[in-house]
Amino acid sequence: MTKHRHAEMIKAKADNMELVVFHNAKEPNEWTENVERLIPGFREDWDYFLCLPQHKDAVLNCLNGGVSEVFGGSGNFCRGDAVIGSSWRSCSLLWYMNDTCESRTKHRKEKRWIAIKKGNKEVGRYTCETLEEAKDMYIPRWWSHHEVEIEVEV
Which alpha helices (H) appear in 32-103, and where do they start and end? 56-63
**How does residue 76 score in pLDDT terms, banded at 50, 70 and 90?**
very low
Q: Give the tens place of pLDDT for each residue, 129-148.
A: 999 999 999 999 999 999 99
Share of the chain above pLDDT 70, in %: 86
| Domain co-membership, 95 together with 129 | no
Residues 58, 25: Cα–Cα separation, whole Å: 20
- Look at residues 89, 105, 121 and tell me which one is the last residue of a structural domain: 105
Residue 120's domain comprises: 107-153
| Domain co-membership, 56 together with 116 | no
Dump the DSSP string for 4-17. PTTHHHHHHHHH-T
| Domain co-membership, 86 together with 19 | yes
| Domain co-membership, 69 together with 47 | yes
| Domain co-membership, 26 together with 62 | yes
In a domain, 1, yes or no: no
pLDDT at 82: 67
